[in-house]
Amino acid sequence: VTMKIQALPIIAVVAGLLSIVCGAPAANEENKRAEEPVKEDRSCKKRDAEAKTEKGPVLGCNYFCHEREGDVSYVEKYYPDGVPCQYSDSLISKCTNKECPYPKEDMEQIKENREG
């Protein structure tokens, strides 16, 4: 009789843990998975405005955006000259003529990275 009484709380705890592990929502909780993901604004109007104020460093000197709302195709645009760009893991350059060229101050940066 004692074994049966001890088994009931254990079964209740295991059942509770299973519902948590399996991700079953509680009865009074709304299902958060049913929410639609927030759609990112990839319009050229927004991206162009961001490009003008970009502080960088950017990974590349180009970006892609939709010209019209609801458009599925992208157009390629470029950050203005002078925006800092990531030439490599350790070197920062500046966007020039739609490219991220090897940095002019490369020797100074290499020395700083080796010393630091």
Q: Note the pLDDT tens digit of each residue in 62-81.
A: 999 999 988 889 999 999 99
- Name residue, tokens 């940095």: 103
Residue 102, C-beta contacts closer than 8 angstroms, at least 6 positions apart: 87, 91, 93
Question: Which pair of tokens denotes residue 77?
Answer: 């645009």
73-113, pLDDT tens digit by residue?
999 999 999 999 999 999 999 999 999 999 987 656 556 66
* pTM across the whole model: 0.58
Domains in the chain: boundaries: 44-115
Residue with tokens 């002019």: 104
